[in-house]
Amino acid sequence: MIPIKLVGAKPVAAAAVFDAALAGDSAAAGALHYLQPGALQLAALPPLALYIHFPWCVRKCPYCDFNSHEAKGALPEQAYLDALRLDLEQSLPLIWGRKIYTVFIGGGTPSLMSAGGLDQLLSMVRTLLPLEIDAEITMEANPGTFEAEKFRAYRASGVNRLSIGIQSFNADHLKALGRIHDDGEARRAVDIAAANFDNFNLDVMYALPTQTMQQAELDLATALSYAPPHLSLYHLTMEPNTVFAKYPPVLPDDDASADMQDMIAATMGAAGYEHYEVSAFALPGRRARHNLNYWQFGDYLGIGAGAHSKLSFPHRIIRQARFKQPESYMAAARAGQPVQEEFEITRADMGFEFALNTMRLTEGFSPNLFGERTGMGLNAIEAPLNAAEAKGLLYRDHTIIRPTELGLRFLNDLQQMFLRA
């Protein structure tokens, strides 16, 4: 913490001065003037979401770079739930008085959790946190773990949205992706989801190993036949430190991938879906509220092995990362130190952090949102905005700033223009 000195007082920590100033202490408020010039000025805190990470899966997929660990033997479910409770309790002082608007249980494969375990988890969340009355509570699920009775219990416990990792309805492509389910199990999973949830998402990939345009069209048509409220359509990418990165499969070339992307956009538009984020399509009123909060540079508290947090305070924004290995995380939570890394986002990095999220939105953002979320003036990113606009990657006027179609196609290039803005 930054030591500062009030006139006639002992040195105190900057965070304590912020808290005292918010409570109406005029001397503390005056002392804010003496803080380092990099201090932010947030007029209000953004919406807050809760992310809960469940780190185990049946088998690690060769393309996956998420913090997931193959389950070997019986899962230590109760010990992990106890660690999550300790983690959340120790995090409460950072979010006192703030309401939780969405909850997302991700992984790994959270649907490996027992019905009783999930019920215990959500009961703990409701006990410790003020949940919005109509909070969106999403759970990721793998088709290879679907049991109708268990998913009815998940729904009864409070999960009101599922996100199902289908990836493909083609048996050969599922095998190439290392998925534990086949095409029949994929269809059965969607049937169970549709029978128990009126709000669900299907994850589907394209540009898969040896995939043709006709096969991509069939995958999309099959997904749409279930009328899912939300579809996430991802281009398969070779992420570092994955099996596919080390042993890359034969993939469609750039032209074929671009043709698939164009086909998806046209098909989804004709089916009445809104393309609101680079990889996300939703029926009207069914956008993913939790993910939207990320993309609008909102706040989130992440608990669980490897979970990340972004938390705002009136004069600073911090990021946190938990210990990644489940055993290390549980031991750290019991010791009262589940956070492995914490740092403050600097003013120099704020523009890139903001653009990394908001430039994914096809409709862009209001110019005012930058000040609301960062505590800085829009002039802080004037240079990259001008450069991106000159290259045709960005459109802006007094009401909106958004990526153009070219900007969405070359999103990485657009985002990198805001590095050290």
The two three-digit tokens of residue 308, written as one number: 């990340």
pTM of the model: 0.88
Q: What is the mean pLDDT of residues 82-101?
A: 97
Question: What confidence score (pLDDT) does residue 23 get?
Answer: 45
CB 390 within 8 A of CB 357: no
Non-local CB neighbours of 350 within 8 Å, separated by 6+ positions: 317, 374, 376, 380, 421
pLDDT digits (tens, 9 = 90+) for 16-57: 433 443 444 433 433 333 344 568 889 999 999 999 999 998
pLDDT at 108 over 60: yes
Tell me what the pLDDT averaged over the chain comes to. Answer: 88
Superfamily for the 48-292 domain: Aldolase class I (3.20.20.70)
Residue ranges of domains in the chain: 3-34, 48-292, 361-421
Percentage of the residues of the chain whose pLDDT score is greater than 70: 89
pLDDT at 5 over 80: no
- With tokens 């389950």, the residue in question is 71
Question: What confidence score (pLDDT) does residue 142 get?
Answer: 87
pLDDT digits (tens, 9 = 90+) for 364-406: 999 999 999 999 999 999 999 999 999 999 999 999 999 999 9
Domain 361-421 class, CATH top level: mainly alpha
Q: How far is it, in rounded angstroms, from Cα 288 to Cα 31?
A: 42
Reported confidence tier of residue 3, pLDDT bands at 50, 70, 90: very low
pLDDT digits (tens, 9 = 90+) for 304-342: 999 999 999 999 999 999 999 999 999 999 999 999 999
pLDDT digits (tens, 9 = 90+) for 184-231: 889 999 999 999 999 999 999 999 999 999 999 999 999 999 999 999
CB 293 within 8 A of CB 311: no
| Closest to 407 measured CA to CA, from 383, 391, 387 | 391
